Amino acid sequence: MAEEEKGFAAEIVEVRPRKTGVYGEIYQCLVKILEGKDAGRVILRNLKGPVRPGMVIMLMETEREAKEIKPKR
């Protein structure tokens, strides 16, 4: 039996209004880590697909954080 890859549960706290990606399909979201060594930490992540505040997602790792998108001048 192969070993399963495990992730870390995280809850979407806030969906930022700015989108990124070539077609605008990537959302920037603040997520709160629910388990693991970083439990309780809130980080900024880029997520693809339908996202809403309160959804629970699985992250493969919790160390990386997305850079905030700055509006063009």
Residue whose C-alpha is closest to residue 41's, from 4, 5, 10 = 10
The pTM (predicted TM-score) of the whole model is 0.82
Is 39:11 a contact under the CB 8 Å cutoff? no
- Structure confidence by residue, pLDDT tens digits, 15-32: 998 888 888 899 999 999
Summarised one tens digit per residue, pLDDT across range 25-56 is: 999 999 999 998 899 999 999 999 999 999 99
User: Domain locations in the chain?
Assistant: 8-59
Tell whether domain 8-59 is in CATH 2.40.50.140: yes
In 1-73 the beta strands, taken as DSSP E runs, fall at 8-20, 26-33, 42-48, 56-59
Are the C-beta atoms of 39 and 33 separated by less than 8 Å? yes
